[in-house]
Amino acid sequence: MFEVLGARAIDDIGNIGQFGRFCWQTTAACLRGCWNHKTYPLVWAQMHIIGVRSVPVIMITGAFVGMTLAVQAYDQLKAMGFEERLGVLINISVVKELGPVLAAVMLAGRVGGALTAELGTMNVTEQIDAVRSIGTDPIWYLVAPRVMACLLLTPFLIIYADLLGILGGFFVGVKQLGINNWAYWSFSASGVELWDVVVGIIKGLFFGGAIAVISCYKGFTCKEGAQGVGQACTEAFVSSFISILVLDFVLAVMFKAIYNTFWPFRSLVG
Amino acid sequence: MNTQNQTTQERRDSAPQGSNDILAARNVTKRFGPHLVLDNVSLSIERGKTTVVIGPSGCGKTVLIKHLIVLLRPTSGEVYFNDSRIDNLSEQDLNEVRTRFGFLFQGGALFDSLSVFENIVFPIRQHNRVKDWSHVEDIVKSKLAMVGLDGFQNYYPANLSGGQRKRVALARAIALNPEVLLYDEPTTGLDPIRSDVINELVLKLQRELGVTTVVVTHDMTSAYKIADRIIMLHNGKIVADGDADHIRNHPHPVVQQFINGQVGEDDLAILRMTGTASQTQFLPRDFEA
Ligand SMILES: Nc1ncnc2c1ncn2[C@@H]1O[C@H](COP(=O)(O)OP(=O)(O)OP(=O)(O)O)[C@@H](O)[C@H]1O
Ligand SMILES: [Mg+2]
């Protein structure tokens, strides 16, 4: 019993160590890649696959989040006579939390799954070893461009999600439920600060990096066979999802502390 | 005088090959978990010669050849290239060494997201081996022509047959004009005529460019044709080592069975025990395993 537990603990610690090493190598490869002109076309290609092709799903995600929030919150606010503040509620939720997190989850599914499956297949068909046998660092060639593309593009995708969330909320709130246009926006403007938007976008950097590194790691350490690749994809998604949530919490705490040291408390309801 | 002798002796120990050996494995042992695959294997590969490694399926040939370019690291033991130890180098330093090798994977390991042309250009581009990029198409053309696949530049690996993939992989392995070529079963899956073309190619590269070649194969015709030296691996150990005649006349029964393609008594006994197909019952647990 203890032996089993002990063995598993040693395994887990070993895996954490391995993952740490992988992160370190990836960081080093990314930094080196910045000065190597051969990296740019690789990053460019990944940006197309990861970024451009994700825009539609990200926009759909954002729009529905905004619209749903409007539908859900309207009745309660109306009962209190606060319905004109619907805008601030929707926009701050979208910009601070729901936009970044849901966009990241969407990316973890769309991009993370694809990265793990691609690298996992390359791993089991020895293509990663082939890169090594040619004398090229597979982390530089395969991982760094994907991580860099994710890091650079997730913030932009989050801007898209935010934008569409805001528009979706506006559409339902003002066009469908008939809230006064001017009141909707002026309450929003007074409630949502640039800080909130920026924090949401900075979160994107972390989420993007986490998704890419975790997915690539799972691909690189994937077990043999079709089942191995499938399992790696599942694990990659679950791990990415959990790290998105954990990072979101940690970053929320950190940014709140930073905010509180510079600015006084701000009430959204007052 | 005495001390000088000692240092010479020590140097010989730390660099086990004379200058004529380009590659050497020394007491290499490899385990995967509890599974012992290579058991204290020592061998040295002579410069400019063709060494063929034969042995039954699963005996560790692929594992051995991967150690020579340190795609796998030994559990214990050392690997030397040009008299310097390479099995303990970092991946970074190894990349430098590996540009002097060509490696053909048993499964080809072509990059399936790249076309045939890009696959062969990949090593050239990675190491900036050409001054004038307008020559690249000619280089690729000539490499593909060597394996009989000129004209397939724009195909993707998924659209090639197994044998064609293997040959493209071979073209990629020789793209950098390496000093050492390691082939893992170059002729498996090819028709007899194509196999012979590959044999001729191996010989030609060795003759004209002085390439050192290590070939893993099951194909005895090919082995006899190209080998300067044949090594037989069995259960992770070298059981025979010598030129073609030495192997043909080797007294060891395992060697004789292998080169003549005979089933051993043990295997026959198992076949007799399991009975004929009609008697054999497949129980569900057979499928689980
Ligand atoms: N990555 C690995 N993890 C665990 N075991 C492995 C690994 N690679 C090889 N082995 C084991 O090592 C043994 C030898 O494998 P190897 O691929 O070298 O055989 P081989 O001689 O090349 O056979 P074949 O002629 O069929 O290609 C096998 O029993 C295999 O199970
Ligand atoms: Mg093999």
Predicted confidence (pLDDT) per residue in B88-140, tens digit: 999 889 998 999 999 999 988 999 999 999 999 999 988 877 777 788 889 89
Predicted confidence (pLDDT) per residue in B15-39, tens digit: 444 468 899 999 999 999 899 999 9
pLDDT at B272 over 90: no
B63 lines ligand 1 (CB under 6 A): yes
For position A142, what pLDDT does the model report?
94
Pick the range with the lowest mean pLDDT from A63-72, B53-62, B188-197, B224-233.
B188-197
Q: Where are the domains of chain B?
A: 1-95+218-274
Pick the range with the lowest mean pLDDT from A69-83, B199-213, B257-271.
B257-271
For position B265, what pLDDT does the model report?
75
pLDDT at A251 over 60: yes
pLDDT at B204 over 90: no
Burial class (CB in 10 A: 0-12, 13-18, 19+), B56: middle
Distance CA(B132)–CA(B82), nearest Å, equals: 31
Distance B38 CA to ligand 1 centre (A): 10
Burial class (CB in 10 A: 0-12, 13-18, 19+), A232: buried
B229 lines ligand 1 (CB under 6 A): no
Query: What protein residues have CB closer than 5 angstroms to ion ligand 2?
Result: B 62, 106
The single residue listed with the structure tokens 């079709």 is A226
B100: CB partners within 8 A, 6+ apart: B81, B178, B179, B180
**In the numeric block, which tokens belong to residue A71?**
């539908």
ipTM over 0.90: no
For position B118, what pLDDT does the model report?
93
pLDDT at B10 over 50: no
Q: Listing from the earlier edge strand, what are the strands of the sheet with B50-54?
A: B101-104, B180-184, B212-216, B50-54, B229-234, B237-242
Assigned CATH class of B1-95+218-274: alpha beta
CA torsion, ordered A143, A133, B68, B218, to nearest 10 deg: 120
Beta strands in chain B (DSSP E): 21-32, 35-46, 50-54, 76-81, 84-85, 101-104, 180-184, 212-216, 229-234, 237-242
Nearest CA in chain B to A118: B113
**B interface mutation test: which of A133, A136, A137, A146 has the most B CBs within 10 A?**
A133
- pTM for the model: 0.85
For position B6, what pLDDT does the model report?
41
For position B104, what pLDDT does the model report?
94
For position B7, what pLDDT does the model report?
39
B93 vs A: CB within 8 A: no
Q: What percent of chain B has pLDDT over 70?
A: 88
Distance B61 CA to ligand 2 centre (A): 6
B134: CB partners within 8 A, 6+ apart: none
Predicted confidence (pLDDT) per residue in B54-97, tens digit: 998 889 999 999 999 999 999 999 999 998 999 999 988 999 89
Helix, strand, coil percentages for chain A (3-state, nearest 5): 90, 0, 10
For position B3, what pLDDT does the model report?
40
For position A267, what pLDDT does the model report?
67
